[in-house]
Amino acid sequence: MSKADTSKNNAFLIDMTKCTGCRGCQVACKQWNQLEAEETEFFSGEGYQNPPAMSEYTFTRIKFRDYQKNGQNEFAFYKEMCMHCNEPACASVCPVGAFEKTAEGPVIYKAERCIGCRFCMIACPFGVPKYEWSKGLPLVKKCTGCYSRIKEGLQPACATACAMAIGYGPRDEMIKLAEQRLARYPDRYINKVYGKEEAGGTSVIYLTSLPFDELGFKAVTLRPLPGYTWQALRLVPGVFLSVGGGLSAFSWITHRRDRLKNEKQAELAEQGSVPSKEEQE
């Protein structure tokens, strides 16, 4: 996988000391991506987040954590989403290039290339990609970083909905801003910018007043993960990778045949003629 030019790389700065748990970002994400509603309930075993996990219908959510401060029960909040790694493991293991790290920052998914191997789900250290188990021909689903909005000069939907806790801009500027807050308010924050170095650096960075592990953040290596994933793939039998390549070719042929069929039907429709069953086949 070739490295993307990250000179224009944008990033989210999520300051959890400013988050009120309103879930406005969840609503904005679901609305912009036109995600279906799902039956859900409070997951009391871990907190008061709702839904209990990200899924094909939920690309981001606010996780709740209970803790005690000066003898009083308090809440802390953590916005969970795709981390949009600088060197994404999902892209490094995908045999057909269905994932791509863009120069703007988001890691995007190209559904037309996907063969359903689900290597991305195994490789992601943050457990982000989800499978469409509800469908007969499933795809992988995850946060897009609102790439279509960014390309038009707009902010991501969640950042637009939250003027308080979510900042968005050039990654180097977001890191600089985070470090300025740490220096100015040392008693407010844990002295760490999560995402600055984790997994080789990500396009989502966090500040918090509580230890990251207590909030449920995953402990990941600081080394870029593609180095690990390629080492692991070398142990995969060649015949399996050949099957992956065959599935990729089959997928490409199938998509091409369907596209040509749709183009033919559209052309006949413009001419006012209805194709016969044989022609449709």
CATH number at residue 53: 3.30.70.20
One domain for residues 232 and 245: no
Ranges 25-39, 157-171, 242-256: which has the least confidence: 242-256
One domain for residues 90 and 216: yes
One domain for residues 84 and 219: yes
One domain for residues 112 and 244: no
One domain for residues 243 and 223: no
One domain for residues 159 and 267: no
One domain for residues 45 and 180: yes
Domain count for the chain, please give it: 2
Query: How far is the C-alpha of 177 from the C-alpha of 196, rounded, in Å?
Result: 12
One domain for residues 243 and 231: no
**Span 27-68, pLDDT tens digits:** 999 999 999 988 877 655 566 788 888 999 999 999 888 877
Q: Is the pLDDT of residue 250 over 60?
A: no
One domain for residues 155 and 270: no
One domain for residues 129 and 37: yes
Torsion of CA 224, 215, 206, 152, to 10 degrees: 90
63 within 8 A of 212, measured Cβ to Cβ: no
Please give the structure tokens belonging to residue 280. 């449709």
SS3 category, 165: coil
One domain for residues 22 and 103: yes
Q: How far out from the chain centre does Cα 3 lie?
A: 18
Q: pLDDT value at position 32? A: 97
63 within 8 A of 14, measured Cβ to Cβ: no
Ranges 91-95, 119-123, 221-225: which has the least confidence: 221-225
**Span 203-244, pLDDT tens digits:** 999 999 998 988 888 888 887 776 665 555 544 544 444 444
Query: How far is the C-alpha of 103 from the C-alpha of 47, rounded, in Å?
Result: 36
How much is the mean pLDDT over the chain?
82
Q: Is the pLDDT of residue 143 over 90?
A: yes
One domain for residues 232 and 242: no
Q: pLDDT value at position 213? A: 86
Instruction: Tell me the one-letter amino acid at 276.
Output: S
Give phi and psi for 92, each to the nearest 5: -70, -30
Element (H, E) at 10: strand 10-15
Domain that holds residue 186: 1-236
pLDDT band at 142 (very low <50, low <70, confident <90, very high): very high
177 within 8 A of 15, measured Cβ to Cβ: no
Query: How far is the C-alpha of 173 from the C-alpha of 124, rounded, in Å?
Result: 26
